[in-house]
Amino acid sequence: MRSVSLLFRTSFVVFSRSRFSFPVGPSLPRAQESFFFKCLPRLSLYHLQGMVSNGMASGAELERVKARAELAEKILNDLQVRVAALKQAAVKEAGLAEEEQLSKENAEIKIEIEAIKKALVMAEIGNGVRQVHLPTKAELAKFSTKAAQSAATVATSATAPSVKVEEQAVSKGESGGKKSKQNDKSEAGGKKAKQDKVAKGDGEAKAKKSGAASAAGGGDDGEAQVDISRLDMRVGKIVAIEKHPDADSLYVEQVDLGEGRNRSICSGLVNHIPINAMKDRFAVFMCNLKPAKMRGVMSEGMIMCAVSPDKTEVLVPPADSAIGDRVTVDEYPGTPDKQLNPKKKIWETLKPDVRTNADRIATYKGAVLKIDGKGAVVAPTLADAQIS
């Protein structure tokens, strides 16, 4: 034991009196730290071996010191691995905090951009600039689905005539065989069949004529289906506008609908849209309401607007729409009534289902109000709003 104590005392003295000086604590340089941890066990072992060679220590003591040196080296390696892992975790945590902060700032910037865009749209509308609606991803997907369905329909219709030709050929063959067997029938029977055929044709012609007459009559038949096709909605231009002489909340507009004369239409938009934003504006008008006087001024239609509890916006037709273009819905084809019967309350029945969707597009039961070949009718900013 005296020799072992002498060994460690000698190692400490030799190491402490060397030309290397090592500060204590976190300020220890990396190179000196590595030298210290790697060389200390080897230096002690070196002196121990020298002492053994000089007869100062036994073999058992040498093995014990070797084992302790190896254990110390393993502990140092484990500590170095743990320190590296802690450094990596600290860097990762700092990166996550910075990423979260950047995501939060991006979200705030997006909200500011949307607010600025809405303010810009309202300013342009106030100055009479027409807005062009850009289709969203959902609309593009819907249109591509419709295109695929129409292509499938065309392919089916292309194969249908060949089947009909084959059926006609078979029927002709059968009729030819029957005709050869029936040559002995009397001429009276043939005349009777011809008369029946003529009578049948006359009946079909009369039915078609009566159907066309009922359609031309404006669909006033009580059995006519009540849907959006009953409404006559067209694009018009406000060529002149003034305030109602006897109603502070009403405008009186002169609207060109392509009829050869201007219609006088009253609208309660004084408190919602400035008069200079209405002049020379294109809008959508319902044209088959029964004319009625509003505080002494005859109104011959209604301007279509999106309405929320705190805001009212005039619907905007497609950019390239022309005066007189009719607004239709593909899913509800038909001819509009010449004039809606106020007693049947057709517009009042349809109104709850006429709304803008989440993309501000005017719809009826989810089907888009559009002008064929030109685009959809939209609201400037109001989504999921009632149209009236």
80-111 pLDDT tens trace: 999 988 888 888 877 777 888 888 888 889 88
Name which of 242, 266, 235, 272 is nearest 371 in CA terms.
Answer: 235
Express each pLDDT in 196-246 by its tens digit: 554 555 555 544 444 444 444 444 444 578 999 999 999 999 999 999 999
Distance (Å, whole) CA 354 – CA 345: 15
Predicted confidence band at 114 (pLDDT cuts at 50, 70, 90)? confident
Instruction: State phi, psi for 316 to the nearest 5 degrees.
Output: -110, 120
pLDDT at 98: 80
| pLDDT band of 11, cuts 50, 70, 90 | very low
Distance CA 361, CA 377 (A): 6
Q: With contact defined as beta carbons under 8 Å apart, do 292 and 312 qualify?
A: no
Residue 200 in tokens: 């049948």
Cα 267 to Cα 274: distance, rounded to the nearest angstrom? 13
Contact 228, 329 (CB under 8 A): yes
3-state secondary structure of 344: helix
- Beta bridge mates, 386: 307, 355
Cα–Cα distance, 130 to 361 (Å, whole number): 15
Torsions phi, psi for 307 (to 5 deg): -130, 130
> In terms of Cα–Cα distance, which of 136, 149, 152 is closest to 368?
136
* Inter-residue contact 7 to 48 (CB < 8 Å): yes
Q: Given pLDDT bands bounded at 50, 70 and 90, which one contains residue 380? A: very high
- In which band, very low, low, confident or very high, does the pLDDT at 194 lie, cut at 50, 70 and 90? low
pLDDT band of 20, cuts 50, 70, 90: very low
pLDDT, position 118: 79
pTM of the model: 0.46
CB 47 within 8 A of CB 61: no
Q: Give the gyration radius of the chain's Cα atoms.
A: 46
Look at residue 292 and give its three-state secondary structure.
Answer: strand
Centroid of chain to Cα 346: 32
Tell me the mean pLDDT in the region 161-168.
Answer: 51
Alpha helices in the chain (DSSP H): 2-16, 30-53, 59-126, 137-181, 187-216, 346-350
Q: Give the three-state DSSP class for 64.
A: helix
Q: Residue 39 phi/psi, 5° resolution?
A: -90, -25
Mean pLDDT score of the chain:
76
pLDDT value at residue 253:
96
Burial of 231 (0-12, 13-18, 19+ CB in 10 A): buried
Give the pLDDT band (50/70/90) at residue 125: confident
Residue 384, sorted as left (phi over 0), alpha (psi -120 to 50) or beta, turns out to be left
SS3 content of the chain, % helix, strand, coil (to 5): 50, 15, 30
